[in-house]
């Protein structure tokens, strides 16, 4: 977002300071009203430009929101232009009410609609009905007090025109509506998330300044002391500079982030949410107190007021108890969530341990304990699986079955421990030979197998058998003793030599014994005549 937003606030301060400086030091200057009009018109013009940019860049509810704020700035700008046209060019004194007041009221109406759009955006919230009632209570108290102290005394004067009454009442009514909604918005945890915090703060501050300016203006109108170039005027300029700054920040953040919606994580969060709950009750108590002071107090009115106040206090106590229960419930939920997380972690650890145990048991069931290669059980399952695959794909499968020549002599000469070390070494060499290309296994004793898929060609099988012999031909050393050994290999193929697993294994075993009879340390492919002999 850069340093651009930080330039806005010094500019606003300089603008308002310059405006006040001109109003206080140059009242006798012949260009006093003209320069003051530039200040007064420039602020809503700049604000309208920025608000239009926000309207153009936004979408959905935000687009309507910025549109009505832009329409409000436009209406205010038209009102100012009308005022100064009459004052500077027609040289006429602008008397309240005038055509300018119509556009001032329209500006306030548009701004009120914009705020209501944001409230409506959150109407599905469960607190919406209570929010509306809070607004109605605050508005009722504010209108009652305004009517009693400000509006009614003016209306009681003789010779008051109906248009005067309409305009005079319009300002405080719209201001009070805006004030009521703003008050509830400020202290609402749900509705404070309608816009990012900086933007919402600037908008609420602008409306606060607007209400302050309108209130001061109505007092001056009532006293018949207002004139153009009043010290109130810069407050209206400040309102539209703040609204323009809010819309400008919206445009910058939208361009920086690519999108912006009401669920921005950086929102205003007020800690004293309970103040919003008691605010309507405080307003009612204030109204009752003023009613008692300004009316003839009798036992009936005093008793009625005390009863109402006691009911309100009782309701506040109930709210406090509810808050305490909610806090306890939230605390219990936190404790429960911690226990659930702890239990989940324990179950996860146990499941992982169980998974490791299952994998270990499965490994023990399918792998030879000595050589750490697949055992007979795994071999038989794999053989049937590959045979089914070969049948379905109309392909072939070859089985190389071998054992060690004169292994019994090695076992008797060097002992079982040395023989086991030799078998373990053969298992390691088979892993290097097979890699992930062939399936190897130990059936038991010194018997091993190699399964080869898509190997029907006899020359290819002969090459693989020779490669296997070469892989295992390296002598085995036990300390300083060299133990030489060789292997005899029998080869059978599916479907050429066998039609099922049992037959394939039997024919490969037959071919292996034929290799032994042929002088050992060689390989033989199965032939039909081997079974006849």
Catalytic residues, which ones? Answer: 446
Helix (H) or strand (E) holding 489: strand 487-494
Contacts with 193 (C-beta within 8 Å, 6 or more apart), sequence order:
262, 263, 264, 267, 268
- Report yes or no: 196 and 260 within 8 Å, Cβ to Cβ: yes
Could you list the beta-strand ranges (E) of 360-429: 397-404
Contacts with 488 (C-beta within 8 Å, 6 or more apart), sequence order:
402, 403, 405, 512, 513, 515, 516, 520, 521, 522, 523
- Residue 508 phi, psi (nearest 5): -65, -40
- Report yes or no: 485 and 422 within 8 Å, Cβ to Cβ: yes
Rounded distance between C-alpha atoms, residue 335 and residue 323, angstroms: 18
For residue 376, with 0-12 CB atoms within 10 Å meaning exposed, 13-18 middle and 19 or more buried, which class applies? middle
- Report yes or no: 47 and 243 within 8 Å, Cβ to Cβ: yes
The tokens describing 528, both together, are 């039909």
- Residue 21 phi, psi (nearest 5): -60, -45
């Amino acid at each position: 977002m850069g340093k651009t937003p930080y330039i806005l606030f010094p500019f606003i301060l300089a603008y308002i300071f310059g405006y006040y400086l001109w109003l206080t030091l140059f009242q006798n200057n012949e260009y006093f009203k003209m320069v003051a009009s530039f200040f007064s018109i420039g602020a809503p013009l700049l604000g309208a430009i920025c608000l239009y940019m926000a309207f153009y860049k936004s979408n959905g509810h935000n687009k309507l929101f910025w549109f009505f704020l832009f329409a409000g700035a436009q209406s205010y700008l038209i009102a100012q232009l009308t005022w100064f046209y009459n004052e500077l060019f027609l040289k006429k004194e602008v008397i309240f009410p005038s055509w300018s007041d119509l556009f001032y009221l329209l500006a306030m109406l548009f701004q009120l609609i914009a705020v209501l759009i944001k409230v409506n955006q959150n109407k599905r919230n469960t607190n919406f009905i209570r929010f509306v009632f809070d607004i109605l209570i605050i508005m009722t108290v504010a209108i009652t007090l305004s009517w009693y102290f400000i509006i009614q005394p003016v209306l009681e004067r003789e010779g008051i025109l109906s248009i005067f009454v309409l305009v005079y009442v319009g300002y405080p009514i719209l201001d009070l509506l805006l004030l009521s909604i703003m008050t509830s918005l400020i202290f609402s945890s749900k509705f404070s998330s309608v816009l990012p915090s900086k933007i919402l703060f600037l908008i609420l501050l602008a409306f606060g300044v607007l209400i302050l300016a309108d209130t001061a203006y109505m007092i001056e109108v009532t006293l018949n002391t207002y004139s153009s170039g009043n010290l109130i005027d810069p407050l209206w300029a400040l309102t539209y500079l703040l609204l323009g700054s809010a819309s400008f920040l919206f445009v910058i953040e939208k361009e920086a982030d690519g999108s912006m919606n009401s669920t921005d994580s950086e929102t205003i969060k007020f800690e004293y949410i309970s103040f919003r709950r008691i605010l309507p009750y405080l307003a009612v108590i204030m109204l009752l107190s003023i009613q008692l002071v300004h009316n003839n107090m009798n036992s009936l009115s005093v008793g009625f007021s005390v009863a109402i106040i006691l009911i309100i206090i009782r309701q506040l106590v109930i709210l406090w108890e509810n808050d305490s229960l909610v806090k306890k419930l939230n605390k219990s939920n936190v404790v429960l969530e911690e226990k659930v997380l702890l239990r989940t972690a324990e179950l996860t650890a146990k499941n992982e341990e169980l998974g490791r145990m299952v994998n270990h048991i499965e490994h023990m069931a399918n792998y030879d304990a000595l050589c750490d290669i697949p055992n007979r059980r795994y071999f038989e399952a794999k053989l049937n699986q590959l045979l089914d695959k070969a049948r379905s794909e109309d392909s072939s499968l070859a089985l190389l079955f071998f054992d060690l020549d004169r292994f019994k002599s090695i076992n008797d000469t060097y002992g079982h421990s040395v023989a086991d070390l030799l078998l373990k070494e053969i298992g390691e060499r088979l892993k290097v030979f097979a890699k992930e290309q062939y399936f190897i296994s130990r059936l038991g004793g010194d018997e091993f197998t190699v399964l080869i898929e898509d190997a029907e060609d006899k020359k290819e099988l002969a090459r693989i058998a020779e490669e296997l012999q070469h892989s295992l031909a390296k002598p085995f050393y036990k300390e300083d003793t060299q133990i030489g050994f060789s292997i005899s290999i029998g080869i059978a193929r599916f479907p050429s030599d066998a039609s099922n697993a049992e037959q394939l294994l039997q024919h490969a075993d037959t071919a292996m014994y034929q290799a032994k009879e042929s002088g050992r340390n060689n390989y033989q492919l199965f032939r039909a005549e081997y079974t006849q002999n």
